[in-house]
Structures are given as C-alpha cells and as structure tokens.
Amino acid sequence: MTRPTRFFDEEAGGETGAAVTTGRTLTSAARCPNCGEEPFAQLFEIWSPREFMLDTCCEYMLEVANEFLAEDPKAAAKWLNEEGLGEICGQRVGLADAFGRGARRVIEDGCGSLVIDWHLDLTPISQAAAKEFIRTHHRHANKPPAGWRFGAGVMNGSDLVAVVMVGRPVARMLDDGATVEVNRLCTRPDIPQGLVWNACSQLYAWSAKEARRRGYRRCVTYTLEEERGTSLKAAGWAVEATSGGGSWNRPSRRRGNEGPQGRKLRWAAPGMGTRTSPDGRQRLLWAESPSPGNGT
C-alpha cells in the first residue's frame, strides 16, 4: 500500500492510486487505498476551546489525516478553515464559515494531541479581571500594579491567554501626566506556548496605539536585561535607556523587594517621544529604575 505523504495532494490520484483527494474536493474518483470507499475525512466534532475529532472513511484514513495535520501547521489550518467541515449544498465549508473565525495553526498540545490554535482576538478587559489574571499567572511579579489607565486581553478561541495593564509610570520622574507605562504584560504559562505566540507583540502594539489615541505623548515599559525583548522589537519599540540596577526599595518610598533586581532596559513605543538622561549616556537615574520587568 502506498501511503500519500500529504493529505490533500493535488497530484494525488495519479500513478500511486493512493489518492486521498484533490485540494478542492473530497469526492474525487479515487478510491481509498485501504477501504476502497470514497476517501473521506472531515471534522466530526469540536470541543471548546480547541479539541477536535475527525470523521474518516477508515482507520487508515484517520492516520493519514492526522499525519497531514501534524506535518504542516499552516496547511492544516487552511484545510480546517476552508473545507474541514465537509460539503454543504455543494460548497466546501470550514471553520471560518461556521465560526466567523479561523484557525492560525494546528499544534501539538504537549500530550500527543493535535489542537486548534485559533487566530488571536484582542478583547477589552476590566482592571479587576486583569489583576486576577496576573495574580494567577505572572512568573516573577504577581502583585498587580496600581495606577491603571487602560488594558486589554488576548483571546485564543474562548481562552484568555494574555493581558496587558497600562498605567502611570512607576518612576516619579517620568510621571508627567503625558506618559503611560506598560506596567505588566503577562501570558498564560499553563497552556501550550504555541497558543500565546505573537500575543505579546500584539499587546505592545495595541498599548502604544491606544496611548496615542488617548492623547498620551509617551508610552514606555521595562524589561530585565536578560529578557530578549523579542515581542517589543516585533512591535517596533526601541530601548531608550538602561538602568544600573539597584534595589527596589528606598527610605522615602518603601515598596518592598517584590520584583527582581538587576539591570533593566527602558523601552519607548514607536511614533511617540523618547527621553534619555541629560548627559546623553542613556542611563536611567536611580530614581527611574525600579519598575519590575514585565516578564516577556
């Protein structure tokens, strides 16, 4: 028996006879090489938020379909979105038709199952809900910040997978009324990390846009030096200053050493003002440094 390497191979049905189907239809003339019936595979059921089960002509076809879905996450999503639900009134129907929202990819959930990684959606979030999320999920600074101005969440299907809290700058020197700070950005650590892919850069980009929309002139955030800042860079943010590190605590404004210490980078959102120290050495004054990193 020849096993097609791709589920929907345009060339299938040719020499091998192992055609599952063509990319356009599941009712090609080719027979399933295993059961001899019309080759058939489509979504049978989806459970919220992301599990699914396929219906196939036979066990062999189920294996073939699973291989196809596992092999190319984007091609798998395209199939689910455009034709995964089979044929209705002569039209191929997929997730995008049925739910108005499609899959980004199909990913492995870490336990051997394939699950749907939906396209991310930004969602409004209350301060209370954002705080609760951070209390539950933040890696190293789970005390939510005060000084809320605005925030948002990111949904992957019906799961809230990330939140951002934007508030007053923690450093008093920056707190000029025209500046806001991304105080916390937090993703779910307890789900397959593929599901939060790109969520941070979307939230950083949104925060900058929302700050501009609300009339703020600057939007900043901090990371620990050892954090790579990949999602900030992806959102167009740039480092404007580095701190020398130092304790979070000082007598005039006691806070307790909640956040990690060490050198920090201050980032500024694109298209807005930046500020460096007067001597141009791009070092933060000590008074500006103590915001905990945002854990991204």
Q: Which is nearer to Zn ion, 34 or 187 (CB)?
A: 34
- Contact region with Zn ion (CB under 5 A), list: 27-35, 82-90, 94-102, 132-140: 27-35
Q: Which is nearer to Zn ion, 32 or 152 (CB)?
A: 32
241 vs 208: CA distance, rounded Å: 18
Q: How many CA atoms lie within 13 A of 171 on its CB side?
A: 21
Residue 80 CA: distances (Å) to CA of 45, 50, 86, 102, 166: 12, 12, 9, 8, 36
Asked if residue 234 binds Zn ion (CB under 5 A), the reply is: no
Among 6, 16, 35, 160, which residue sits at the site for Zn ion (rule: CB under 5 A)?
Answer: 35
Q: Which is nearer to Zn ion, 62 or 98 (CB)?
A: 62
Taking CB atoms within 8 Å and a gap of at least 24, the contacts of 277-283 are: 277/241, 282/240, 282/241, 282/242, 283/241, 283/242, 283/243, 283/244
Q: What is the number of alpha carbons within 13 Å of residue 105 lying toward its C-beta?
A: 15
The two three-digit tokens of residue 72, written as one number: 């190319």
* Under 8 Å between Cβ of 231 and 296: yes
Question: Shortest approach of Zn ion to residue 44 CB, angstroms?
Answer: 15
What span, in angstroms and rounded, lies between the C-alpha atoms of 97 and 99? 6
- Region binding Zn ion by CB under 5 A among candidate stretches 30-38, 94-102, 119-127, 135-143: 30-38
Q: How far is the CB of 36 from Zn ion (least distance, A)?
A: 7
Sign for the pseudo-dihedral over CA of 226, 292, 290, 166: positive
The correct pick among 12, 18, 26, 61 for binding Zn ion (CB under 5 A) is 61
Closest CB to Zn ion among 18 and 219?
Answer: 18
Does 232 bind Zn ion (CB under 5 A)? Our answer is no
Angle at CA of residue 15, ends 12 and 17, nearest 5°:
65
Question: Is 129 a residue that touches Zn ion (CB under 5 A)?
Answer: no
Q: Which of 34, 42, 81, 243 binds Zn ion (CB under 5 A)?
A: 34
| The one segment of 61-69, 92-100, 120-128, 270-278 that binds Zn ion by CB under 5 A | 61-69
Minimum distance, C-beta of residue 220 to Zn ion, in the bound complex (Å): 59
Stretch that binds Zn ion, among 49-57, 86-94, 96-104, 282-290 (CB under 5 A): 49-57
Residue nearest to Zn ion (CB): 32
Q: Does 20 bind Zn ion (CB under 5 A)?
A: no
| Binding window for Zn ion (CB under 5 A); candidates: 56-64, 212-220, 240-248, 254-262 | 56-64
32 in contact with Zn ion (CB under 5 A): yes
Q: Helices 73-83 and 59-71, interaxial angle, to 10°?
A: 120
How far apart CA 204 and CA 206 sit, in angstroms, is: 5
Min. distance of Cβ 82 from Zn ion in angstroms? 22
Please check whether residue 219 is in contact with residue 182, taking contact to mean a CB–CB distance below 8 angstroms: yes
Residue 44, amino acid: F
CB of 59 to Zn ion, least distance (A): 8
Least Cβ distance, residue 111 to Zn ion (angstroms): 27
The stretch among 57-65, 141-149, 155-163, 212-220 that binds Zn ion (CB under 5 A) is: 57-65
- Sites of contact with Zn ion (CB under 5 A): 32, 34-35, 57-58, 61
